[in-house]
Structure 1
Amino acid sequence: MNIVIVEDDINMRKSLEIALGEYDDLKIKSYKSAVEALKKMDENTDLIITDINMPQMDGLEFIKRLEGKFDVIIITGNASLNKAIESMRLGVKDFLTKPFDVQMLYEAIKRVEFLKQKAPNIHVNLTEERTSSSVDSSDFAASSPALEYALNLSKRVAKTDASVMLMGESGVGKELFAKFIHKNSPRKDGPFIAINMAAIPENLIESELFGFEKGAFTDASAMKKGQFELADGGTLFLDEIGEMPINLQPKLLRAIQEREITRLGATKSIKIDVRIVSATNADLPELIQSGKFREDLFYRLNTVPVAIPPLRERKEEILPIAERFLEQSCGEFGLGAKHFSEAAVKELQKYDFPGNIRELISVVQRAAILSESEEIQPGDLFLQARSRK
């Protein structure tokens, strides 16, 4: 496998050259800047490993210049969720924070190689994906270039059994994306089970995920299957995965790796066939550094990351989504048909919606209830006090 390393720190660059050069299946070239790499690297490159923070041209701009022609792994000592999301949106395969073990980087390289062999269509050409209209997005109220990109990647990933991590702000519609992946997968006729880690008391998460035998604890009067068993043959969506207690993460990792679980109080394990889709709005690299999230679990869940853009980057969708939920709300509350005035439409389209789609739905429902006429006015939206400067 032909690897290109782009790193401005000479010590790091030379260390990676030497360490990765010990693996017989890797051929290494390195460059001190993205500018130099663009000039000198050839078409035989299989994978690029690049830093983000570099002089002349940073890693994100470098990736944009590549136009999706090469697989990329990012290494950085200054990780943030925003940079991770932006890099994943550009098609980056993995995102490692310094310092890291070279074996971990090698495993990330092998994952990219495996995915390329097993499902070459996962590779994303940025230009093609942003102009594609081939995705069946009937589950979504509207579309935009940013949404089309994420949907195309999701649909390609859905054809495999790879674990998917959905990344994005709260309220962007991660569960809807998880259902979209399930619907477009070979598992579509199996169950789709969603579980929100943040909504379950910590002392109940283990029994909720893995189940328990009769007598496993005081109130266990009968055997109960966990969510893994209930999702057998289908998809298990683990929302807010960053909220999972650190002491239970090894058991989750084992369930994913070994494809088997053990109920509380049981002596025998049970084989399961489950595809995992997880979601987070937390900065997982930061949680890893603080010892609150296992690095090996992160990479097992993050085989294929999908970044979902916030609503402020999908302005074309605001009005269609608002109109769809206005119709639903009026029907649900028995209010009769209502519509937005031109002034109300302008207010909706210029507002940032920091709470994303979840906030938009709330705004629309409130306006439907409080509006005293069939035409909803700007004052019915109550957006002025919340608009960001």
Structure 2
Amino acid sequence: MPLSHTAHRILVVDDQADVREALRLLLKTAGYGMVGAASPDEALACLRGDAFAAVLVDMNYARDTTSGQEGLALIEAVAAQWPDLPVVAMTAWASVELAVEAMRRGAVDFIEKPWQNARVLSVLDSRIALDRQRRELQRLGAAHALLASEGSDGFIVESPVMQRLVDDLVRVADSDAALLLLGENGTGKSLIGQLIHQWSPRRDRPLVKVNLGGLTPTLFESELFGHVKGAYTDARQERVGRFELADGGTLLLDEIGNLPLAQQPKLLRAIEDGEFERLGSSRTARVDVRIVAATNADLPAEVAAGRFRQDLLYRINTFQVRVPPLRERREDILPLARHALAAACRRYGRTMPRLAASAERALHAYAWPGNVRELAHAMERAALLARGAELVADDLRLQAASSPETSLGDMTLAQAEAWLLRKALRDHPGHLQRSAEQLGITRQSLYRRLDKHGIDPQAGDV
């Protein structure tokens, strides 16, 4: 598969202007860019100020010099300061000894002058491809090492489907491409968004998360874009919005499928142009933010129904990932269960029990409609209920956890209201507006009732 050279620039170090020009024309025909340097000092200055895919280094610079010592010193300096940068030596005074010494000092290959055009391009293509492969393997290795550590917060990827997903994510993590994470509630989309940020060059900048499904229309602009003092009645001081907080970093927009249509053009503009105004201000602010969005909604269906803007969908799904439900990654169930059980035992000061064969069979057989979040809750419950050193199937109480609710006739008014709220949330997971419509109340009224009963609409056990 041919390389795409458009992003690659080569530094050519040679004291002869005609040599540099000839190489510039050759490299241009192959799609490479080129920067020329006439001396080792000039080359080092270029390297300190810019990034290159490879360096072509002449071995001799002083008149009547054929020893190659200046080129060898430059190769050694580049190898010391930029050890991962491929350096190719070239000279009209080729010898086996000089080639061996250049390789010993850090060169990856050797080209004789006068060169053969095919040889120059072949060396560059192969060395840049190898360097790209090495960096990709390093990223994959670092990602899997991170997932194996406690810092991954139990994000288990033993199943083939999850390993493929992580490999894809690592390959795009170092770009600024917008990512759209699709999947059922409780599959770990928010955690994946955090990992993408950790793997990216923005890792030292802020990661800011906002649940768009939990924002009332009146709070949308203030939360995302901020407001100035006096913008509205209760705006007693300035507030910085999530876009400004995430400047230079990553903004994770959770439940973007629940964003009301009226607010979508404002979000589109901020994503598209990096521009917005604080509520109550006429001054335009500009930010550099990478967008990672997540939803359990079928966005193409929402577009077809007129509830989601197609241009906004195009902006957020440069790279789209479907996070599989737990039932499609069963190799991960037991490792996830053990991790969650260990975490719960540490939290509650309990001795970690081992999973009996009956418990393992029950965990595998269960459908896990609430996915990883439900599994974590189940293992937390089991940590509290377990008797002795072994956890058996009965301790999991999976059937009890999924059994039908008590009939309405046996409930108090408050219990019945809480039951109806939970049912509406289950019927429309992640869609608060539709839940409110099913109940015959406004979205604002739904928020008040959820708060009254202490119900978290994002919890997996509603």
TM class by shorter-chain length? 0.5 to 0.7
Partner of 1:301: 316
**Deviating 4+ runs (over 6 angstroms):** none
The AA in structure 2 aligned to 1:292 is R
Partner of 1:339: 354
**1:191-221 per-position Cα deviation (integer Å, ceiling 9, x unaligned):** 1111111222232122101100000000101
Equivalent residue for 2:339, pick from 324, 327, 334: 324
Partner of 2:180: 165
* Shift in CA distance, 354/141, structure 1 to aligned 2, threshold 3 Å: same
5 Å-filtered alignment, 1:1-389, equals 135-136=143-144, 137-138=147-148, 139=152, 140-384=155-399
- Partners of 2:351 and 2:286 lie apart in 1 by 52
Unaligned runs of 5+ in 2: 1-128, 130-136, 404-462
- Partners of 1:133 and 1:387 lie apart in 2 by 39
Question: How far is the alpha carbon of 1:387 from its aligned partner?
Answer: 7.4
**1:66-85 per-position Cα deviation (integer Å, ceiling 9, x unaligned):** xxxxxxxxxxxxxxxxxxxx
Question: How far is the alpha carbon of 1:382 from its aligned partner?
Answer: 1.4
Question: How far is the alpha carbon of 1:338 from its aligned partner?
Answer: 2.0
Question: How far is the alpha carbon of 1:291 from its aligned partner?
Answer: 1.5
Question: How far is the alpha carbon of 1:334 from its aligned partner?
Answer: 1.8
The AA in structure 2 aligned to 1:207 is S
- Partners of 1:315 and 1:332 lie apart in 2 by 26
Question: How far is the alpha carbon of 1:187 from its aligned partner?
Answer: 0.6
Q: Greater CA deviation, 144-153 or 133-142?
A: 133-142
- Partners of 2:325 and 2:216 lie apart in 1 by 29
Q: Superposition RMSD on alpha carbons, in Å?
A: 2.3
- Partners of 1:133 and 1:231 lie apart in 2 by 28
User: Is the Cα contact below 8 Å between 1:288 and 1:294 reproduced in 2?
Assistant: yes
- Partners of 1:383 and 1:260 lie apart in 2 by 49
User: Is the Cα contact below 8 Å between 2:345 and 2:383 reproduced in 1?
Assistant: yes
- Partners of 2:286 and 2:142 lie apart in 1 by 37
Question: How far is the alpha carbon of 1:307 from its aligned partner?
Answer: 1.1
DSSP-derived class of the 1:206 partner: helix
* Larger helix fraction of residues: 2
Question: How far is the alpha carbon of 1:163 from its aligned partner?
Answer: 0.4
The AA in structure 1 aligned to 2:365 is K
The AA in structure 2 aligned to 1:329 is A
User: Is the Cα contact below 8 Å between 1:135 and 1:148 reproduced in 2?
Assistant: no
* Shift in CA distance, 133/344, structure 1 to aligned 2, threshold 3 Å: farther
The AA in structure 2 aligned to 1:237 is L
- Partners of 1:134 and 1:263 lie apart in 2 by 39
DSSP-derived class of the 1:238 partner: strand
Greater RCO between the two (CA within 8 Å, min separation 6)?
A: 1
Residues paired across the two proteins, number = 261
- Partners of 1:269 and 1:175 lie apart in 2 by 30
DSSP-derived class of the 1:270 partner: strand
Unaligned runs of 5+ in 1: 1-119, 121-128
**1:344-374 per-position Cα deviation (integer Å, ceiling 9, x unaligned):** 0111122221111001001101111112323
User: Is the Cα contact below 8 Å between 2:217 and 2:263 reproduced in 1?
Assistant: no
DSSP-derived class of the 1:171 partner: coil
- Partners of 1:327 and 1:142 lie apart in 2 by 18
Question: How far is the alpha carbon of 1:134 from its aligned partner?
Answer: 8.0
**1:92-146 per-position Cα deviation (integer Å, ceiling 9, x unaligned):** xxxxxxxxxxxxxxxxxxxxxxxxxxxx9xxxxxxxx9xx988523322342110
The AA in structure 2 aligned to 1:370 is L
User: Is the Cα contact below 8 Å between 2:157 and 2:163 reproduced in 1?
Assistant: no
User: Is the Cα contact below 8 Å between 1:191 and 1:232 reproduced in 2?
Assistant: yes
- Partners of 1:154 and 1:196 lie apart in 2 by 22
The AA in structure 2 aligned to 1:178 is G
* Shift in CA distance, 164/142, structure 1 to aligned 2, threshold 3 Å: closer
- Partners of 1:218 and 1:251 lie apart in 2 by 22
Question: TM-score normalised to the size of structure 2?
Answer: 0.54
The AA in structure 1 aligned to 2:188 is G
Question: How far is the alpha carbon of 1:336 from its aligned partner?
Answer: 2.4
**1:21-60 per-position Cα deviation (integer Å, ceiling 9, x unaligned):** xxxxxxxxxxxxxxxxxxxxxxxxxxxxxxxxxxxxxxxx
- Partners of 1:239 and 1:232 lie apart in 2 by 18
The AA in structure 2 aligned to 1:183 is Q
Question: How far is the alpha carbon of 1:383 from its aligned partner?
Answer: 1.9
